[in-house]
Amino acid sequence: MKSPSGRRRKARAPRRTAAFHPGFLTVAAFLVVASLAAGYLVLNRTDNTAPTASSGDGKKTSATATKEPEWDGKTKVLGDGSTSYTGPQKGGLKPEPLKPGEKPPQFVVFSWDGALAGDDELFQHYREMAKRYDAHMTFFLTGIYLLPKSKKDLYAPPQHPRGSAAISFPTDDHIRTTIEQLGKAWEEGHEIGTHFNGHFCGEKGGDDWSVAEWKSEIDQFFAFAEKWKTNTGYTDMDPLPFDFKKEVAGGRAPCLEGQANLLKAAKSYGWRYDASSKGDFQIWPTKKNGIWDFPLQMLPYEGGKYQGLSMDFNFLYNQSEGQTDGDPARYPQWQQETVDTYMAGFNRVYFGSRAPLFIGNHFEQWNGGIYMNAVDQVIENVCTKKDVKCVSFKELADWMDVQKPETLERLRTLDPAQSPDWSTVVQ
């Protein structure tokens, strides 16, 4: 529901959505929430001291995986007409190396797991928020959200029966709306990444998958994304304005599982980053296996009593023990705790090391929508500040790639709250 001003109302009636992604209640809902706890939950960390960061591989890489082809100004429809090439994406951050003594920008990345355009219109809402506050975001698409339930047997998940998933397949209307939103988001400069397909966690989930099984999962993601017209029969719709294989530069694994083998698989696709680490202190990123590692982060929770993970599910688990319809009387308190935690993490680096801040979420209405309300407040608070750039992960990777390796190594030695003499760091 939106107010007359176009903004969503702060108060929402609680809505029972135990499944991982809102709008689709699955029979395995309890198991999904429990498995999420294993992957996303970081509780009661009492050590608030950030360790000394290790440097990356020190190799300077190109800001793009492949050279952009010369474009003749004509749309090139690809495959069955589901996708197309309409030229390079416009309006992105121009990556420039820091000048000697220059303070780095404060990068903030808001990312969304699943990216299903459901009845709550949250995909549309955050596109509107991004326009209002000059932000770009990363939308991690779940591949089966473009696959009708009637075609579910096209999906052969690793170590699970054909046609199965730990989340529900979408309705036909939601597939159609998601396709529309993906195209508009890309045209507005947002990044489309991958959240893979079946959202399997725990036993026979990502941690148990081989490199070959991760490649199968990735190949199937691309197949669903590139053949949605064939699978849905929506021949009346325009093709998406981008080529998935050129545009997808990274992803986030369900429940943050299986990164070691996922990274080995990702290299063969030319991916440039991964956002599947299980949490780290707010330090400047490094590379794993030649790929930028952009983890969810440990932020000061409840006034710094301990560190909590920078994702909505972690707040849900802390505040209502994973129940998506907790005590409504506590919603205002929980919402403010969430805002305070995000802002404490932001302020620590904004006035300190300027390490990027990563905030991960889902399109959800847990506990009356308080976590979406909290993100709204944070976007309003931070994206308007001096030197802040609210960017996508892909844009951040572009910027990191053009910096001097020795500058990045010095940045990684900084404590998150440390505001150094920048002339000694950026030379």
C-alpha dist (Å) from residue 10 to 84, 332, 342, 350, 377: 39, 10, 18, 27, 10
pLDDT at residue 61, as a whole number: 42
Give the angle 387-306-376 at the CA atoms, nearest 5°. 45
pLDDT tens-digit readout, 295-343: 999 999 887 788 889 999 999 999 999 999 999 999 999 999 999 999 9
Find, among 190, 397, 395, the residue nearest to 273 by Cα: 397
pLDDT at residue 352, as a whole number: 98
How many structural domains compose the chain? Answer: 1
> What are the structure tokens assigned to 223, written together?
């197949």
| Three-state secondary-structure class, residue 216 | helix
The domain containing residue 401 runs over which residues? 29-49+101-425
> What are the structure tokens assigned to 396, written together?
């951040």
Q: Is residue 270 part of a domain?
A: yes
CATH for 252: 3.20.20.370
pLDDT at residue 183, as a whole number: 98
Which strand (E) or helix (H) includes residue 95? none
Mark the ranges of the chain whose per-residue pLDDT is less than 70: 1-69
> What are the structure tokens assigned to 395, written together?
């844009």
Please tell me the distance from the alpha carbon of residue 170 to that of residue 24, in angstroms, as a whole number.
7
Q: Is residue 200 part of a domain?
A: yes
Is residue 208 within 8 A of residue 154, CB to CB? The reply is no
Is residue 291 within 8 A of residue 251, CB to CB? The reply is no
Q: Is residue 157 part of a domain?
A: yes
Please tell me the distance from the alpha carbon of residue 116 to that of residue 281, in angstroms, as a whole number.
30
pLDDT tens-digit readout, 128-187: 999 999 999 999 999 999 999 999 999 999 999 999 999 999 999 999 999 999 999 999
pLDDT at residue 73, as a whole number: 82
pLDDT at residue 69, as a whole number: 55
pLDDT at residue 31, as a whole number: 33
Gap between the terminal Cα atoms of the chain:
51
Is residue 407 within 8 A of residue 426, CB to CB? The reply is yes
Q: Is residue 353 part of a domain?
A: yes
Q: Is residue 224 part of a domain?
A: yes
Q: Is residue 5 part of a domain?
A: no
The amino acid occupying position 332 is P
pLDDT at residue 278, as a whole number: 84
Q: Is residue 74 part of a domain?
A: no
Q: Is residue 89 part of a domain?
A: no
